[in-house]
Amino acid sequence: MLAFVNGPTIGRVTAETTHPSTEPAAAERPRKRQARGERRIAQLLDAAGHVFAESGYAATTTNAIAARAGVSPGSLYQYFPNKDAIAAALAEFYADSLDELLAPFAALDPAAVSLEAALGASLGPIVRFHRDNPACLALFIGGNAPGHVMDLQAPLMARTHARIEALLALYAPELPAARLETGAAVTLAAYKGVLPLLVEAEEERVPALTQELGDLLLGYFDRLLRP
Partner DNA sequence: AGAGATTACGAGTGATTGCTCGCATTCGTC
Partner DNA sequence: GACGAATGCGAGCAATCACTCGTAATCTCT
Which stretches of the chain bind a copy of itself, using CB under 8 A? 55-56, 58-59, 138, 142-144, 182-183, 185-186, 189-194, 196-197, 205, 208-209, 212-213, 215-216, 218-224
Between 28 and 202, CB nearer to DNA: 28
The interface partner of residue 11, options being DNA, a copy of itself, none and the CB cut-off 5 to 8 Å by kind, is none
Q: Which one among 20, 74, 147, 173 touches DNA, defined by CB under 7 A? A: 74
Nearer Cβ to DNA (98/149): 149
Dihedral (Cα; 159, 161, 162, 165), 10-degree rounding: 160
Q: Does 83 bind DNA (CB under 7 A)?
A: yes
Q: Is 75 in the site for DNA (CB under 7 A)?
A: yes
Per-residue interface string for the shown chain with DNA, residues 30-59, x marking contact by CB under 7 A: -xxxxxxx--x------------------x
- Which residue from 47, 40, 52, 51 is spatially nearest to 2, judged by alpha carbons? 47
**Residue 130: is it exposed, middle or buried by C-beta count within 10 angstroms (0-12/13-18/19+)?**
buried
| Smallest separation (angstroms) from a copy of itself to the CB of 194 | 5
82 binds, among DNA, a copy of itself, none (CB under 5 to 8 A by kind): DNA
User: Is residue 82 part of the contact set for DNA (CB under 7 A)?
Assistant: yes
Instruction: Check residue 20 for interaction with DNA (CB under 7 A).
Output: no
Closest to DNA by CB, 84 or 181: 84
Provide the minimum distance between the beta carbon of 117 and a copy of itself in the complex, in angstroms, as a whole number.
16
The least CB distance from residue 69 to DNA, in Å, is 8
81: Cβ–Cβ under 8 A, 6 or more apart, which residues? none
Q: Which stretch binds DNA (CB under 7 A): 74-82, 92-100, 135-143, 209-217?
A: 74-82
CA distance 22 to 28: 10
Selection from DNA, a copy of itself, none that 78 binds (CB < 5 to 8 A by kind) is DNA
